[in-house]
């Protein structure tokens, strides 16, 4: 891994991870998606208020034998909600997959360990309900949570988008104010430090993103390849940290095209 972040002062490091706010049309796109699609909303997978998800079936027939795409939103584990990025479901729905838009408790209300555990609880819940063929995807912090669970027995393929795979630089800047990462959590919850056999994976990132974000995805994908894992690295031309999701919302976009080829392979 390139240790260049270690040479940054605090202000430079904070700027290196400052992606700004999501585009205002995310809310508009999300609202339009909910208006156009009927699903099961706010299904509980645990007792905490944010342990819930929205489910959108690909068709009215047998749901459990159809692959289910599980999308986990970003927000540096401390902001955003499932409704903001729900429009991305258009892409996997267009490929004939069910879609789950997941929610989870945010820091500082819970620790990183608990956040990771909630996504595991969600995957167990879905598997118990018969969704045994899961395609797990997530954006930014959701990409990290995707990588943390690519070895879950129900996850057959994974798609971390602009993910964060090493928590050490996160712990050194302002993002850690709410996360309060411990040394033990940094070691245990950094996917690049624990590459074991897991689901075949598409790792994507916008090539116009901040260099640190590109580094995370590139280094993680390369480390997985070096470990003998089946991984396709997809840099999206001209895409920034948020516009990568516009591509994900297209069934024929670069990310889902790569995923479909991986699933067929």
**CB 233, CB 203: distance < 8 Å:** yes
Is residue 62 packed enough to be buried (19+ CB in 10 Å), middle (13-18) or exposed (0-12)? exposed
| pTM assigned to the model | 0.96
Q: Is the peptide bond before 156 cis (omega within 30 degrees of 0)?
A: no
Q: What is the pLDDT of residues 63-74, one digit of tens each?
A: 667 999 999 999
Length of the chain: 265
Please report the domains of the chain, with CATH numbers, ordered by start residue.
Answer: 4-264 (3.40.50.1820)
- In the structure, what pLDDT confidence band is assigned to residue 61 with cuts at 50, 70 and 90? low
Q: What is the Cα–Cα distance from 108 to 143, expressed in whole angstroms?
A: 19
Long-range contacts of the stretch 37-45 (C-beta < 8 A, 24+): 37/89, 37/93, 45/121, 45/122, 45/125, 45/126
> Beta strand 68-72 with 201-206: parallel, antiparallel or unpaired?
unpaired
The pairs formed by 58-63 with CB atoms below 8 angstroms and a separation of 24 or more are: 58/93, 58/96, 58/97, 58/98, 58/99, 59/96, 63/98, 63/130, 63/131
**Tokens encoding 40:** 């099961």
Confidence of residue 1 (pLDDT cuts 50, 70, 90): very low
| pLDDT number for residue 248 | 98
**What residues have CB less than 8 Å from 14, skipping those under 6 apart?**
173, 174, 175
Q: Tens of pLDDT along 2-51?
A: 468 989 999 999 999 999 999 999 999 999 999 999 999 999 999 999 99
Q: Per residue in 106-147, pLDDT tens?
A: 999 999 999 999 999 999 999 999 998 999 999 999 999 999
């Amino acid at each position: 891994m390139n240790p260049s972040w270690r040479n940054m002062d605090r202000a430079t490091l904070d700027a290196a991870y400052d992606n700004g706010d999501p585009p205002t049309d995310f809310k508009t796109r999300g609202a339009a998606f909910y208006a156009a699609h009927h699903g099961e909303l706010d299904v509980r997978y645990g007792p905490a208020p944010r342990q819930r998800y929205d489910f959108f079936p690909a068709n009215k027939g047998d749901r459990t034998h159809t692959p289910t795409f599980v999308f986990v939103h970003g927000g540096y584990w401390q902001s955003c909600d499932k409704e903001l990025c729900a429009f991305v479901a258009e892409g996997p729905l267009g490929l004939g997959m069910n879609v789950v838009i997941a929610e989870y408790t945010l820091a500082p209300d819970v620790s990183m360990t608990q956040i990771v555990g909630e996504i595991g609880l969600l995957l167990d819940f879905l598997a118990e309900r018969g969704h045994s063929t899961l395609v797990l995807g997530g954006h930014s912090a959701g990409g990290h949570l995707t990588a943390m669970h690519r070895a879950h027995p129900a996850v057959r393929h994974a798609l971390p988008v602009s993910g964060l795979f090493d928590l050490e630089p996160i712990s050194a800047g302002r993002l850690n104010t709410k996360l309060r990462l411990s040394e033990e959590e940094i070691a245990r919850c950094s996917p690049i430090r624990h590459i074991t056999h897991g689901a075949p994976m598409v790792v994507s990132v916008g090539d116009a993103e901040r260099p640190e974000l590109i580094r995370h995805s590139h280094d993680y994908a390369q480390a997985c390849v070096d470990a003998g894992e089946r991984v396709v690295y997809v840099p999206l031309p001209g895409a920034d940290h948020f516009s990568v999701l516009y591509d994900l919302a297209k069934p024929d976009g670069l990310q889902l095209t790569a995923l479909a080829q991986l699933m067929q392979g």
